[in-house]
Amino acid sequence: MTIREVATTPFPDQKPGTSGLRKKVPVFQQTGYAENFIQSIFDSLEGFAGRTLVIGGDGRFHNRAVIQTAIRMAAANGFGTILVGRGGILSTPAASHVIRLHGAFGGIILSASHNPGGPTEDFGIKYNIANGGPAPERITDAIFARSRTIDRYRILDAADVDLDCDGETRVGDAIVWVIDPVADYTALMEELFDFAAIRALIGSGFRIAFDAMSAVTGPYATEILEQRLGAPKGTVRNGLPLPDFGGHHPDPNLVHARALYDEMMGPEAPDFGAASDGDGDRNLIIGKGIFVTPSDSLAMLAANAHLAPGYARGLAGIARSMPTSGAADRVAEALGIPLFETPTGWKFFGNLLDAGQATICGEESAGTGSNHVRETDGLWAVLLWLNILAARRQSVQTIATEHWARFGRNYYARHDYEGVDTIAADAVIASVRGRLADLPGATIDALRIEAADDFAYHDPVDGSQSHGQGIRILFEGGSRIVFRLSGTGTSGATIRVYIERFEPAGGDLGRATGDAIADLVAAAEAIADIAGHTGRTVPDVVT
């Protein structure tokens, strides 16, 4: 086997976002494109000679091809051991756990998360560090800088590894281990949750509907829910990971998981419905007759986490992203623990988790997790909900109603304007930023603005600063509107508007969300003039 130094030239568009580098598949299929980025990762790291690298992905189109390339490049660059999920499969939370469990130097995760898959759809490459979490900005900045000057990559001439057979293969001087992608993760879940109690709940006739969306969580959910916990066969729907996710968009929200939502709102609904996304880090929670927003789910999980064995000693703190509703804030206050408000992006939680300052973290974009790994974890959230339901023996509806009666309710929705012309999207944000000084004290209809700012974050662990993380419009009484641009897509820009009305305990807690926030929706348009800048009069997705 020969190590080759292949001459190359830079691509100008390899700047990683909050979740790595994401582009359309044909972009990654360009000669040298994936190789340049992978070599830029290795060139930005030190001290990995002879160490272990984890490689896996969500099974989307082009996953296997890039895994073979990454194996040959990792061997050529000096890694000693390479752990790969069988079939090229590792959910993002499972990859985080494998990195931590096996003391790996880091990992390459091939995914575009909740984005569509297929020959003309999305692909992504992300590097995770030794703690199992996404690379911090100092590393992603170094990767991008190297990608701008790269002139060669190193790759081994070697045959493809059989990804479908567990065991050891030697590639050059490196050992490649193809591992069961589910086993280590399942063992961790058994440590955290009371499987016996959940099994008893299911045995009592409690019905579950889990939609894996033809994505990576299917094998994990099938093993845990059906094999370990005794749920009937068929509880996991769309459980086989497919390269194009069956032609569906694997984002567990009320648009793309509409069939599950409609079923859960029907007269013959199961007791509990859930879904996860392309790479397994997001979750959707629906009870019989009730959708639980991700923000509320975070708060309710935190308030009840002590019912699960892994969290029986209590929580050190709760962290939420800035656009996530303030529902968790009042739980933290009641528990007497700190609440951290961070920028969007799970990597901002990593320092808090590593320092032991937070135990449970969550984002409004349906990502919830804890200190068990350093990524969001969709199936973990589902299992914690099931543990709580098994302990309390109440419905999701009752748990939510009792929670709001104690803490108040944050009526909440996110409006996404997708694929917006980048110049027009930037103009929306610039226009609102230009008005920040004049907004406090202004009144829109009966809504009085108390404060307005461009959110900045000071990391309490390492002292780093992050600015320009989203515009907050704060109203008297605890309601607010947030404007920000998303970095998770691969074309155009997505304007996200987060709308939140706080109703204190004792108030009107049973309204339809759309009715409760209608005046705030109108206020958001009056402030940002999205229609005037973009021509869009309604959002593409409301969650």
In this structure, the number of other CB atoms found within 10 A of the CB of residue 177 comes to 16
Helices (H), 305-395: 327-335, 347-354, 378-392
Q: CB under 8 Å to 256, separation ≥6 — which residues? A: 213, 248, 249, 250
Residue type, 540: D
Task: Kindly name the residue from 96, 111, 113, 321 that is annotated as catalytic.
Answer: 113
3-class secondary structure, 480: strand
**Helix, strand and coil in the chain, % to nearest 5:** 35, 25, 40
Phi-psi region of 295 (alpha: psi -120 to 50; beta: other; left: phi over 0): alpha
Q: Which residue in this structure is represented by tokens 């019989």?
A: 288
Cα separations in angstroms, 471 against 428, 456, 484, 498: 11, 10, 6, 10
Asked about 147 being catalytic, the answer comes back as: no
Q: Are 177 and 83 in contact (CB under 8 A)?
A: yes
Helices (H), 271-410: 294-304, 327-335, 347-354, 378-392, 396-407
Q: Which residue in this structure is represented by tokens 């032991």?
A: 356
Q: Which residue in this structure is represented by tokens 């917006």?
A: 420
Q: Which residues are known catalytic residues? A: 113
